């Protein structure tokens, strides 16, 4: 099944990534270095490019601003947890994974993926049900980082965490009621960081799999952070503790 990507950043990263791009439609009259670079890469990759009128692009994509370019692509190729562990092994690194327990906003998912990719995370695990998917909204908010991140969909997060613990990984959860602040604890590797969904946080059975719970200090009237911000704080604390390379 095909889907559409829009915007230069998203399509450029897709050209560099794993999924097949069938065709790119460019608004006639569009110019610029970034577009030229994209078209050159499309030519190298053997992707057909067609110049069309703006009204055709408007008809093809009605959900927002297409920025004068649309690509017809295969659906995002989900990975497996084993793929993530193999990636870490191939890089000679200890695995660092992220579990998102019920994040429902695709834009938040994309923001988390962008941060995780920058922080060197080897893969992200999301539930198969009651969770945002990697769709065009996630792609755009990630600035194309989804094309370079392994994402797995698991039917049962508890079983996935048990499997990873059996592989020797620690499970670290972000929890508002934890005793320790995230910057006070030594966070070991290999590690799985668990971030709860918007509003409800981690589910009880997922929380019970955590070896360590950490909290983020709150001093304002609102007692929770956006999940993407919470993930960024904890992931970059791990980066800080481990040095410039995991």
For residue 43, what is the domain's CATH number?
Answer: 3.30.1330.30
Do residues 162 and 66 both lie within one domain?
no
pLDDT beyond 80 at 225 = no
pLDDT average, residue stretch 120-125: 96
pTM (predicted TM-score): 0.90
Rounded CA gap, 13 and 43, in Å?
15
Do residues 102 and 219 both lie within one domain?
yes
Is residue 168 very low, low, confident or very high in pLDDT (cuts 50, 70, 90)?
very high
Burial class (CB in 10 A: 0-12, 13-18, 19+), 240: exposed
- Domain boundary among the residues 74, 98, 120 is at 74
Percent of the chain with pLDDT strictly greater than 90: 69
Domain range for 63 is 2-74
Do residues 56 and 86 both lie within one domain?
no
pLDDT beyond 80 at 77 = yes
| Cβ proximity of 123 and 217 under 8 Å | no
Is residue 164 very low, low, confident or very high in pLDDT (cuts 50, 70, 90)?
very high
pLDDT beyond 90 at 244 = no
């Amino acid at each position: 099944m095909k889907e559409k990507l829009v915007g230069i950043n998203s399509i450029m990263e897709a050209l560099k990534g794993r999924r097949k791009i069938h065709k790119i439609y460019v608004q006639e009259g569009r110019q610029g270095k970034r577009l030229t670079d994209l078209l050159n890469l499309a030519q190298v990759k053997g992707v057909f490019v067609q110049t069309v009128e703006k009204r055709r692009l408007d008809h093809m994509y009605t959900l927002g601003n297409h920025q004068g370019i649309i690509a017809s692509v295969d659906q995002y190729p989900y990975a497996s947890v084993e793929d993530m562990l193999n990636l870490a092994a191939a890089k000679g690194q200890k695995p660092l994974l992220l579990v998102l327990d019920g994040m429902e906003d695709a834009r938040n998912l994309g923001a988390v993926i962008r941060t995780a990719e920058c922080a060197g995370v080897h893969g992200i695990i999301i539930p198969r049900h009651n969770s945002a998917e990697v769709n065009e909204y996630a792609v755009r908010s990630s600035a194309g980082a989804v094309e370079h991140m392994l994402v797995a969909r698991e039917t049962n997060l508890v079983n996935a965490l048990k499997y990873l613990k059996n592989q020797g990984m620690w499970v670290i959860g972000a929890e508002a009621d934890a005793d320790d602040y995230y910057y006070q604890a030594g966070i070991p590797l290999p590690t799985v960081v668990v971030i709860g969904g918007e509003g409800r946080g981690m589910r009880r059975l997922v929380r019970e799999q955590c070896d360590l719970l950490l909290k983020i200090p709150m001093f304002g009237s609102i007692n929770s952070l956006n999940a993407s911000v919470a993930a960024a704080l904890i992931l970059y604390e791990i980066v800080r503790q481990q040095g410039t390379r995991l």
